[in-house]
């Protein structure tokens, strides 16, 4: 990817990772990008680096604009290795004595990653750094997405360098939101649901804080995906909605099946939910990736989960999914559990326990069927779905 001058004197020198398909458990069929930004002024600043393995490409991109040795300082907004993996190599190339600005936690975390002495310059929340006619302001954004995370705001250009915030796992030749249009929103939503949902309360506070500070923002430059320049408020508004976890009249029936019995139940329950006018989607765990399901969970009101009983417990795909969902802490959901069993039938109880621990309100008792449901039982599943549908509407 050639460097792109995003505004006079500021370049995206990052790289596209076209081939990554799994980003720590999140499916990325469209790849991702690791954005890094070069700001030219009396001093030259590099904001963030890229994943290890892409260092040469980053250095090549920088060299298309300026000799890397001329970089005066580096800002590390976030320690996670997709942004810092090439930091040691880049510092070696530009000069290890050059100042490396990061949050206080960033200094600790970078040391714990790289175990080498660099010229760390930890900054406080709100601290400014002038590089000529331009001034950076550092904003602590703990847990968006790690304890070390910060944003860097450039007031003269009204640009927010937002690290993981407002990002999308998307590799493309488009570099700006106006070049891709609405098609970017599902990627932004998936990113929020799988990376940031857990921190939704902190993001709401952060949006309030940025609003109170009255920062003028013309452009948001995240470290993944496209830059928001046409309408930065669109993604900020979406983050507000997603952080409040506002739900739609929508239900998901998430399940796996051994001999199709739990599948038959899932389809009958989904039909019953649909009969109440609720948008419902059966999601078979061996068809849908956990991260695509979580994207749907973000704005669903009901999460109905089904598992056959295997070896006195959950089917393994359900254990995987429930662990993943529990970690992301979805809010404002109702749910129910169902499943077929042969002789012991523990899975439904386990699902109910997990859903309760997540904070999902159970609106119907668990529904268990021994072996294969007959027509009468499928009618009962349908009615069970209708009750859930009414609860969604209620």
Q: Which residues are catalytic?
A: 24, 78, 80, 82, 145, 164, 191, 224
- Is the Cβ–Cβ distance between 381 and 272 less than 8 Å? yes
Pairing of strands 4-7, 10-12: antiparallel
Which tokens hold the place of 8? Answer: 């006079």
64, 66, 69, 73: CA torsion to nearest 10: -120
CB of residue 215 to ligand FEO, shortest distance in Å:
22
Contact between 148 and ligand FEO per CB under 6 A: no
The residue nearest ligand FEO at its CB is 80
By rule CB under 6 A, what count of residues binds ligand FEO? 9
Contact between 190 and ligand FEO per CB under 6 A: no
Contact between 83 and ligand FEO per CB under 6 A: yes
Contact between 48 and ligand FEO per CB under 6 A: no
Contact between 187 and ligand FEO per CB under 6 A: no
Q: Taking Cα atoms as reference points, which of 45, 48, 44, 46 lies closest to residue 34? A: 48
Residue closer to ligand FEO by CB (options 226, 303) is 226
Site for ligand FEO, residues 49 to 78, rule: CB under 6 A: 78
Site for ligand FEO, residues 225 to 284, rule: CB under 6 A: none
Residue closer to ligand FEO by CB (options 11, 146) is 146
Residue from 82, 148, 292, 296 touching ligand FEO (CB under 6 A): that is 82
Residue closer to ligand FEO by CB (options 80, 263) is 80
Contact between 80 and ligand FEO per CB under 6 A: yes
- Distance, CA of 103 to CA of 123 (rounded, Å): 5
Burial of 63 (0-12, 13-18, 19+ CB in 10 A): middle
Residue from 93, 134, 145, 301 touching ligand FEO (CB under 6 A): that is 145
Contact between 164 and ligand FEO per CB under 6 A: yes
Contact between 223 and ligand FEO per CB under 6 A: yes
From edge to edge, which strands make up the β-sheet containing 4-7? 4-7, 10-12, 37-40, 44-47, 73-75, 100-103, 120-123
- Distance, CA of 112 to CA of 107 (rounded, Å): 9
Residue closer to ligand FEO by CB (options 57, 276) is 57
What counts of helices (H) and strands (E) characterise the chain? Answer: 13, 22
- Distance, CA of 224 to CA of 341 (rounded, Å): 44
Residue closer to ligand FEO by CB (options 77, 257) is 77
CB of residue 145 to ligand FEO, shortest distance in Å:
4
Pairing of strands 37-40, 32-34: unpaired
Given the rule CB under 6 A, which residues bind ligand FEO?
Answer: 78, 80, 82-83, 145-146, 164, 223-224
């Amino acid at each position: 990817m050639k460097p792109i001058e995003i505004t006079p004197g500021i370049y995206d020198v990052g790289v596209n990772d076209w081939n990554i398909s799994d980003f720590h458990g999140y499916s990325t069929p469209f790849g991702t990008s690791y954005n890094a930004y070069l700001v030219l002024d009396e001093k030259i600043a590099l904001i963030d680096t890229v994943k290890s393995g892409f260092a040469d490409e980053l250095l090549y991109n920088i060299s298309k604009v300026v000799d890397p040795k001329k970089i005066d300082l580096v800002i590390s907004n976030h320690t996670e290795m997709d942004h810092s993996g090439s930091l040691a190599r880049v510092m070696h190339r530009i000069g290890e004595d050059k100042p490396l600005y990061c949050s206080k936690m960033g200094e600790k975390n970078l040391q714990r990653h790289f175990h080498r002495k660099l010229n760390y310059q930890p900054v406080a929340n709100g601290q400014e750094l002038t590089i000529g006619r331009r001034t950076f302001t550092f904003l602590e954004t703990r847990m968006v997405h790690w304890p070390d995370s910060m944003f860097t705001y450039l007031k003269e250009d009204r640009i927010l360098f937002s690290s993981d915030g407002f990002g999308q796992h998307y590799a493309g030749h488009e570099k700006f939101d106006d070049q891709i249009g609405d098609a970017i929103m599902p990627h932004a939503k998936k990113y929020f649901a799988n990376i940031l949902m857990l921190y939704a309360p902190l993001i709401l506070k952060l949006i309030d804080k940025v609003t109170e500070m009255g920062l003028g923002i013309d452009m948001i430059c995240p470290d993944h995906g496209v830059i928001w320049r046409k309408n930065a408020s669109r993604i900020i508004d979406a983050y507000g909605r997603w952080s409040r976890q506002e739900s739609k009249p929508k239900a998901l029936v998430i399940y796996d099946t051994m001999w199709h019995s739990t599948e038959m139940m899932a389809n009958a329950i989904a039909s019953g939910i649909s009969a109440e006018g609720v948008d419902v989607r059966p999601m078979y765990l061996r068809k849908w990736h956990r991260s695509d399901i979580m994207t749907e969970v973000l704005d669903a009101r009901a999460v109905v989960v089904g598992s056959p009983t295997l070896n006195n417990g959950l089917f393994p795909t359900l254990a995987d999914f429930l662990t993943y969902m529990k970690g992301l802490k979805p809010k404002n959901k109702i749910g129910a559990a169902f499943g077929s069993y042969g002789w012991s039938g523990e899975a439904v109880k386990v699902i109910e326990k997990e859903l309760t621990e997540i904070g999902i309100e159970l609106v119907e008792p668990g529904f268990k069927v021994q072996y294969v449901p007959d027509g009468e039982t499928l009618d009962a599943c349908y009615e069970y779905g209708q009750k859930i549908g009414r609860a969604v509407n209620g």
